[in-house]
Every structure is written in structure tokens, then in C-alpha cells.
């Protein structure tokens, strides 16, 4: 198990492999040319695992590491605003109403 898989298993042992959730994360880029604040990226994505969300952040922002994370189950029954940039993913098309309730 990699770090993301271990973190997910410890915090949410009942998260099923096919269960899509909103994953909010703080990703810190390994970019020495950027200032400390520029390296920090707060973002959200719909993902079936924390590992999937971290891989998506790595593809978007480059090498780095997970600093903090949380998740929220779907479907949403109320508005969920804030939390940074949405990283588009393969689950978006199946959750249009949830994305609308997130303000995207």
C-alpha cells in the first residue's frame, strides 16, 4: 500500500472501491523556484479513492506531496462551497447536480 492508500484505509476503512466522493486536499508542490505560498495548492475533485485524487493533483501540479485531506460523501443534499479549485476528472459527468451544488 502506498501512503495515500494507507491514509484512506486508516481514516475511512469502509470507503468502497467504486464509491465516488468529493476529495478536498492541500497539495504542496516540490518547486524550489516558487515561494512557500505559491507551492501550496488547495483543490477538490470527485474521486473513488484518495490515491486517485493525489494522482490527479500530481498530473496537474507536478511532483509534490499531500499535506492534508478530507472527503465528503455523495450525493450532496445542500450547498458545499469553498475549498479551492476543482480538478476535473472522469466522474464529473455522472455527478452534474453535485458539481452544481459545489458552485461549479
List pLDDT tens digits, range 17-68.
899 999 999 999 999 999 999 999 999 999 999 999 999 999 999 999 999 9
Residue pair 27/57 in contact (Cβ under 8 Å)? The answer is yes
Confidence category of residue 82, pLDDT binned at 50, 70, 90:
confident
10 Å CB burial of residue 25 (0-12, 13-18, 19+) is buried
The per-residue pLDDT of the chain, averaged, comes to 94
Give dist(CA 42, CA 5) in Å, integer: 20
pTM value? 0.92
- Average pLDDT score over residue span 81-101: 94
* Cβ-proximal residues to 32 (8 Å cutoff; 6+ apart), any chain: none
Amino acid at each position: 500500500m502506498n501512503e495515500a492508500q494507507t491514509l484512506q484505509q486508516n481514516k475511512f476503512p469502509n470507503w468502497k472501491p467504486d464509491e465516488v466522493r468529493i476529495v478536498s486536499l492541500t497539495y504542496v508542490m516540490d518547486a524550489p523556484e516558487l515561494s512557500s505560498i505559491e507551492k501550496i495548492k488547495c483543490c477538490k475533485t470527485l474521486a473513488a479513492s484518495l490515491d486517485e485524487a493525489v494522482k490527479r493533483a500530481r498530473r496537474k501540479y507536478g511532483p509534490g506531496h499531500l499535506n492534508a485531506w478530507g472527503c465528503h460523501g455523495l450525493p450532496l443534499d445542500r450547498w458545499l462551497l469553498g475549498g479551492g479549485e476543482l480538478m476535473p476528472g472522469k466522474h464529473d459527468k455522472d455527478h452534474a447536480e453535485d458539481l452544481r451544488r459545489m458552485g461549479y
